[in-house]
Structure 1
Amino acid sequence: MTMTAPVRVSVLIGLAVSLAAPFTAWTWTPAFPGDLTVYGSPAVLQYICLGAAVLAALYALAAAGLPYLGWLAPRGAVRGLRWSSLAAAGATWFTLAAIAVELGGLVHLEPGGWAAGAGTALMATAACLVPDDTRAPLPVEPSESRGRRQVVLERTLITAICLGAMLVLNFGIATAHTEEFVAYLLAAALAVRALNLSGALAGLTALGTRNRTATAAGALVAAMAFPLAQTSGQYTSIAVNVLIFAAVALGLNIVVGLVGLLDLGYVAFLGVGAYTAALVSGSVYAQFSGARLPFWAAVLLAMAFSALAGVVIGAPTLRLHGDYLAIVTLGFGEIFRITVNNLDGTSGPALTRGPNGISQIPDLEVLGFDFGATHRVLGVELGRFANYYLLLLAVVALVVFVFTRVNESRIGRAWIALREDEKAATAMGIDGFSYKLLAFALGAALAGAAGAVQAHVTTTVVPESYLFTGTAPPNSAFLLAAVVLGGMGTVSGPVLGAALLYLVPAKFQFFQEYQLLLFGLTLILIMRFRPEGLIPNRRRQMELHS
């Protein structure tokens, strides 16, 4: 990297101040959320700014030619330095602005706060003046030439990255105040941008591609470790709902992402699975209260009835296309809600108790393991939500396995062909109706499995939980948005979309009245600037950015 002496000195001074300032007091009163009055012990907001500054320092060292950091910037370190500096500056200046607004003026800032603002501003400004060093990445070494030692090192690195990502995610979920979560989102978004432009994310993707089994195992281990890092069940309960939302979104991704069918009533299949499991759960309010099936039998029954519902709605309607199909599926979702609302013994047969729903659904028991009780495993106490979290991890893993295997099969290729050009696919001998009906049934069955677990987690199923849109997910609009936002046709995209669409409203309680407005604005921005989604399918990305 070639830069003038003043620019180099400015970057170094800004970095030094940005790394030191989080260990000072930024305000004099603990009235501001998080207590930023302590010297030597950073608060949560200061840790966020410090983490971004550390990333900027790593990119500065990589730009200076430190050989051990070449993996961090295979395409060049300057862009990474710029965006990581902006991450530190953005989180810091947001914090300082929040202090001024909530406490009533800049007079409430301590010298440490002023130093943090000046240091990050100097660092970001100087980083933007550094000449760009973007270059083509070096060719990736073919997998056949890797030795046993390199394979072990790569798999160890993958496990460490997965655990590190879990800790970073846990840090964000556990933020106790809105100001902390906003700063976390701001810093994380800009830091990811830095990793992407520097080529680090592409390198990690290639690493994961070479070690798919190790990557899947590392991600599973990191996810299983999540409840062990929690001190209360509050955030584990959020994670449980995110997993339910993610499992259903992955099922919808088969219909929308692979086949290209617009389904606006998909949440009904979740409801079919939930009501089926509730009816055979042994609840005193269930019509079949004397029948309590084992969990595996209840899940299979829920999947069967959900798949049957998918066939029933798909058989007469899948010859429609585009807007007409969307209207029919929207109507099916409303028909399901109205039907279960009327099966109360007055307007129709006594089956679902109408608006009252089925309550007091007992906790699951599998092989004598009570999911509602507290257990101690390896010295760690696992509560009710931790138990269901681990169960839902298995459900999501099953859904991911099914999605991946089907996507890579002959059936998946036929679905993609139908999505790209149905007339051409039909001319090549693909029976479009049969394949689309299979997609509807399979997607519905996966939603039914998630619904069976959801019924036991919430202990109550009511018709109003399965709307087209509402103030909280899962509903059909949010499910579709999770797939589009995350990236249609991918595995990790809908999971990320589901996590964001559930976590953000849960953290921003004061936005409840404006949630749908912000939701709509987010979708408009995504469609304008990144229509392929946050984690795009490569084929779709090339089509949209040819």
Structure 2
Amino acid sequence: MTTQTATAADTPITPAAPARTAFVNIPTGVARATATGGGVLTVVSAFLAWTWTSAFPGDLTVYGYPGGLQWLVLVGGALTTLFGLASYGVKGLNWLAPAGADAAIKLSAIAAFATAWYTALAISAQLGGLVNLEPGGFVAMAVTLVALIGALALPFERPATQPADPEDGAWDDLKRELSNFWTLFKGGFAAQRTPAPARRLPGYAEILIIAAVLALGLLVFTYGITTEYDELFLGFLVTAGLGAAALGKAGLVGRVAALTARHRNVTMVGAFVAAAAFPFTQSDDQYATIGVNILIFATVALGLNIVVGLAGLLDLGYVAFLGVGAYAAAMVSGSPSSPFGVHLPFWAAMLIGAATSMVFGVLIGAPTLRLRGDYLAIVTLGFGEIFRIAVLNLDGTSGPDITNGSNGISSIPNLNIFGFDFGAEHSIAGFTLGRFANYLFLMLLVTLIVVVVFRRSAESRIGRAWVAIREDETAALAMGINGFRVKLIAFALGATLAGLAGAVQAHVTYTVTPEQYQFAHAVPPNSAFLLAAVVLGGMGTISGPLIGGALLFLIPAKLQFLADYQLFAFGLALILLMRFRPEGIVANRRNQLEFHEKDEAPATLTKAGA
């Protein structure tokens, strides 16, 4: 009998768990107390005067009442405090962070710090130095810094970094150090556990929670759209973005998403009721103008999402279908510039616009959809330019007089449906609704139609065929799916939905001209921004393109200094998003798993091994 002696080489090596570390070396208990206390003091600092003069917008000179950017710092401090208390397991607050509070505390503290210091720097730049700050301004800077230090001292799972290579040059060393810094920085927000299963609430309680979330969304949107100056809107973007990320890291967004998934019809109706309530929060028609244009842009982006997000067809000339619908509806709506001299009811004009766009979708798609990838993108881009040049030449000189050339179809009359004049002011329950508020309600109805069509299509047999074509066309064809027919249906349906929105746009803007439908135009919608809205918002989702379209229209409308640099800014935003969140703002679960396959693999293997 032979006895075998175990050696070191025979001993299995268990990989070491990643170290629990932090950016600042402070005991965890002290760090948590520092972050929470800093959050409380941040809330208090918002009630102090930050500057001595009201020359800075927002009037930050009042003690005891926040104004302007102070409200945003207060929100950041309140979130830091709430998540800090939730991390202690305070009864009634622990449900705020089902996935852990540490990452949420970090993001909330960064939001308060960034907004407070940005405000102080803006005051100094605009008024001429830090001497224009009152003691309250310095207090806000100090306490937000304290909260940030405490938050960054909270532990996280330290990820593996790239080791140094002696053969690397200076440029390689710089790239490695930047990569390691981002890995560590991202790891600081990744201390997130699996959300604890929530106790199932009664149905009415879940619906009440959904209603509260929708009301909060209406409040946030109304505040953002009604900001009166650039500094406040920039602070709003910082606070809203980091605040939403904090809620997501805490697991609260996932918990609400689970509720909305169980009550999808209630959520959809509630969302449209909340959107319809927006005009009643305004005293005039100023911001309803932005609201109706956001709906037009976002609705067309949702139609493009069928083509790009579901079927995986890269369409760079989609805005042309919006133009086809707008021109077709304008020509039969009684405009004196129309060569036909026809004045049909709106429902007929809308159907004509949608049907004309569908016909053009079939005519363009039939000979081109056998192409794939970049070739299809080039053809659709060419179609967009052909449409614009064609309507320019149909002016009675270069071609037949149909579109009135560069002058377009102008003086499109306001709608009058069942005696309701959309161009006149109306009083409802003591609220005065102007022209754009009336069209906002009409556009909401169109948006509802598009959402229902998208949802029903995505869940149908044809929707599953679109997804199969998008994922692997060769495999889908091998399984018996008629790829050409399926893609043509997607192309035609997307064009039809764009034509519906175009019919409303023609009446909202009074005039349709060729310059409105270029690939890249100073004012959206255009093909470049529509595609960016789908990608930024989240391909294959309903709310993603709506949110992406709202952001891409609202940001240039509120930040006028971006007028000459918006393409550069959105290109940079796309690069950053593709690097750090390729699935978009609202993630489709399938895309999220694909883009983060490496992150999901270890957990999956561990679970399988267990």
TM-score normalized by the length of structure 2: 0.86
Query: Match for 1:261 among 293, 306, 313?
Result: 313
Alignment of 1:137-286 (within 5 A): 137-140=195-198, 150-286=202-338
Of 442, 445, 461, the match for 1:394 = 445
Letter in 1 for 2:83: Y
1:293 maps to 2:317: no
> Alpha-carbon deviation of 1:5?
6.1
Structure 2 match to 1:472: 523
Q: Is the 8 A contact 1:71 1:203 kept in 2?
A: no
Amino acid at match of 1:296: W
Contact 1:3 1:131 in 2 (8 A): no
Structure 2 residue 162 is matched with structure 1 residue 114: no
Percent identical among aligned pairs is 58
Secondary structure class of the residue paired with 1:175: coil
Give the 3-state SS of the residue equivalent to 1:316 in structure 2.
helix
Over residues 129-150 of structure 1, what are the superposed CA-to-partner deviations in whole Å (9 max), with x where a residue is unaligned?
Answer: 23467433223557xxx6xxx1
* Structure ID, larger Rg: 2
- What's 2:177 paired with? none
Deviations 1:489-516 (A, max 9, x none): 1111111111111111111111212222
- Deviation of 1:166 after TM superposition, in Å, equals 0.6
Residues 137-185 of structure 1, C-alpha deviation per residue, up to 9 Å, x if partnerless?
223557xxx6xxx111110111111011110111011110100000110
Secondary structure of 1:27 counterpart: coil
Contact 1:240–1:389 under 8 Å retained in 2: yes
CA distance in 2: counterparts of 1:80 and 1:262, whole angstroms? 36
Given candidates 577, 583, 602, the residue that maps to 1:526 is 577
Instruction: Provide the C-alpha distance between the structure 1 equivalents of 2:457 and 2:29, rounded to a whole number of angstroms.
Output: 57
Counterpart pick for 1:412 among 438, 446, 463: 463
CA contact (8 A) 1:486 1:497 kept: yes
The residue type equivalent to 1:136 in the other structure is T
Q: Where does residue 543 of structure 2 map in the other structure?
A: 492
Who is 2:595 aligned against?
A: 544
**Of 113, 117, 124, which residue of structure 2 is paired with 1:89?**
113
Bigger drift between 527-536 and 360-369 goes to 527-536
**Structure 1 stretch 301-310 or stretch 468-477: which is displaced more?**
468-477
Alignment CA distance shift 1:442-1:89 (3 Å): same
Q: Which amino acid aligns with 1:93?
A: W
CA distance in 2, matches of 1:406, 1:173: 32
2:413–2:507: 8 Å Cα contact kept in structure 1? yes
1:316 aligned partner, one-letter code: P
Checking the alignment, whether the CA contact within 8 Å between 2:283 and 2:432 is kept in structure 1 is no
Task: Give the number of aligned pairs.
Answer: 538
Three-state SS of the structure 1 residue aligned to 2:524 is coil
Instruction: State the shift of 1:313 in Å.
Output: 0.4
Q: Is residue 106–residue 148 contact of structure 2 (8 Å, CA) maintained in 1?
A: yes
Q: Within 2, Cα distance between the matches of 1:209 and 1:525? A: 29
Alignment partners' CA distance in 2, 1:352 and 1:44: 48
Q: CA deviation at 1:67?
A: 1.9
Matched, 1:482 2:538: no
| 1:38 partner SS | coil
Shift, 1:240, TM fit:
0.7
Question: What is the SS of the residue equivalent to 1:381?
Answer: strand
* Counterparts of residues 21-100 of structure 1 (less than 5 Å): 21-100=45-124
Asked if 1:16 corresponds to 2:40, the answer is yes
Q: Indicate if the aligned counterparts of 2:36 and 2:80 stay in contact, CA closer than 8 A.
A: no
**2-side partners of 1:26 and 1:375: how far apart?**
43
- Comparing 307-316 and 43-52, the one that deviates more: 43-52
Residue identity matched to 2:44: A
Asked if 2 retains the 8 angstrom alpha-carbon contact of 1:468 and 1:477, the reply is yes
Aligned AA (1:448):
G
Q: Distance in 2 between matches of 1:433 and 1:350?
A: 36
Amino acid at match of 1:247: T
Moved more, 31-40 or 93-102: 31-40
SS in 2 for 1:513: coil
CA distance in structure 2 between the aligned counterparts of 1:268 and 1:464, rounded to whole angstroms = 11
Q: CA RMSD in A?
A: 1.5
TM-superposed CA distance for 1:239, in Å, is 1.0
Quickly say closer, same or farther: Cα 1:344–1:78, change in 2 above 3 A: same
Distance 1:5 1:141 in 2: 29
1:423 and 2:447 matched: no
CA deviations 1:407-441 (Å, max 9, x no partner) are 00000001111111111111111111111111111
Partner letter of residue 286 of structure 1? S
CA-to-aligned-CA distance 1:287-340 (integer Å, 9 cap, x gap): 122x21111111111110000000010111111111111111111111111111
3-state SS, counterpart of residue 427 of structure 2: strand
- Following TM superposition, by how much is the alpha carbon of 1:31 offset from its aligned partner in structure 2, in angstroms? 1.4
1:163 counterpart letter in structure 2: A
Partner SS, residue 400 of structure 1 = helix
Compute the TM-score of the two structures, normalised by the length of structure 1: 0.96
3-state SS of the aligned residue for 1:164? helix
Matched residue type, 2:548:
G
- Picking from 363, 370, 375, the partner of 1:319 is 370
Helix, strand or coil: the match of 2:533?
helix
Counterparts in 2 of 1:135 and 1:541: CA distance versus 1, 3 Å = closer
Residue of structure 2 aligned with 1:126, choices 150, 164, 183:
150
Structure 2 counterpart of 1:367 = 418
Gaps of 5+ in 1: none
State the distance in 1 between where 2:536 and 2:40 align.
38
Q: Which runs of 5+ in 2 are unaligned?
A: 1-25, 157-190, 598-610
Secondary structure of 2:565's aligned partner: helix
User: Partners of 1:42 and 1:69 in 2: how far apart?
Assistant: 25
Letter in 2 for 1:188: A
User: CA contact under 8 A between 2:392 and 2:405: conserved in structure 1?
Assistant: yes
Q: 1:116 to 1:269 in 2, by over 3 A?
A: same
